[in-house]
A and B are shown apart, each in its own frame.
Chain A
């Protein structure tokens, strides 16, 4: 009797235990998925999001890129980046001589036991040097990351998922991506994979692949540059789900997963979108 109970418990706990995720297999499968959907498009083009699949929208966008609306943010960001902290140190003491480090983020920080996005790393650097943390989504932090993204242009995304803890963080992000949420009952893949390229009224949805290459983004609707997690919130709100806090563990894991899907793709941020 005792033993049957124990066996039952053991079985249920085995069912709860997650299947080991295989990030590289997932990434390759996702690339296959889009290559089959869009056989005529070079996957590298997906760094341009929806403009890779919509010629008319692309035309307007290319015109806009003649006078990139994020240029001011890059300049502001550069000035902020090079302003020393009160203690005399600077961002270079945290990031090294080359501010172009975006391709390494998010990374899994074994010591901190969690995912560190570029924005978290910038604020950690500030706090370690006695400065106040900056607001996450827009403003100075987005400007500093715009500058760092600009300095990282042309580098390939190089996310590493090496420890079991890192795999677990990736797996949580992946589960979040494919889980339906909100009163309208959508998961991220519903719009960005299943219905990719379809029109939702005036908007066309872009592929998951390439979603992480071009941040921060200047959005026409925002009229400023914002970080990727601002877009996460918007996509959650669209389906009438309560959004999560910027840089919460949920969104950091999501960003980790999403960026890994674009691993090996070239960075081209900051970007501009409608």
Chain B
């Protein structure tokens, strides 16, 4: 009797595992399309972060705090909750392209206008900033 229950248990377990695997793989295929978009965005955000931190590129940390940054400057406002504050991606890019339009006295450099960063660098940078 004991043996029978044991084997039944084993079968049940096997069925459960199989079902679980099936379910999981089904879900995975359903999500596959989304995943590749996520992966691409993650790559862009990573590239954007590199531009943001690199002293010869954005060097944005010299003036802006972002969460977790080391030795940030404080000449500019902390960059947090960006998605909510900058729903218009174009406006954010314009701010980085030429901040003197919004504020003629700003000390933030005009990264696009003065060709400090390329178009591609600006685009991935904006992806990163929106992720903050």
Contact = CB atoms under 8 A, between A and B. Distances in A.
Direct interface between A and B, CB < 8 A: yes
Contacts of A185: 100, 109-110, 114
Interface in A191-233: 191, 194-195, 198-202
B33 to A, nearest CB: 42
A139 interface: no
Shortest beta-carbon contacts, A-B, top 5:
A198-B75, A184-B109, A201-B62, A190-B107, A199-B73
B107 A202 contact: no
A259 B110 CA distance: 31
A198 B62 CA distance: 10
B114 A201 contact: no
Contacts of B73: 198-201
Given A185-B100, A201-B62, 12 more contacts: A183-B109, A183-B116, A185-B114, A191-B107, A194-B105, A195-B75, A198-B73, A200-B62, A200-B63, A200-B73, A201-B73, A202-B71
A176 interface: no
Interface in B17-53: none
Contacts of A184: 109, 114, 116
A185 B75 CA distance: 15
Interface in B81-123: 100, 105, 107, 109-110, 114-116
A186 interface: yes
Interface in A147-200: 183-186, 190-191, 194-195, 198-200
B129 interface: no
Interface of A: 183-186, 190-191, 194-195, 198-202
Contacts of A198: 73-75
Interface of B: 61-63, 71-75, 100, 105, 107, 109-110, 114-116
B131 to A, nearest CB: 22
Contact of A194 (B74, B107, B109): B107
A200 B75 contact: yes
Contacts of B114: 183-185
B55 to A, nearest CB: 8
Contacts of A200: 62-63, 73, 75
Contacts of B74: 198-199
30 contacts: A183-B109, A183-B114, A183-B116, A184-B109, A184-B114, A184-B116, A185-B109, A185-B110, A185-B114, A186-B107, A186-B109, A190-B107, A191-B107, A194-B105, A194-B107, A195-B107, A198-B73, A198-B74, A198-B75, A199-B72, A199-B74, A200-B62, A200-B63, A200-B73, A200-B75, A201-B61, A201-B62, A201-B72, A201-B73, A202-B71
A15 B121 CA distance: 42
A190 B76 CA distance: 13
A263 B15 CA distance: 90
A186 B71 CA distance: 22
A202 to B, nearest CB: 5
Contacts of B105: 194
Contact of A201 (B71, B107, B115): B71
Contact of B75 (A183, A199, A202): A199
A195 B74 CA distance: 9
Contacts of B62: 200-201
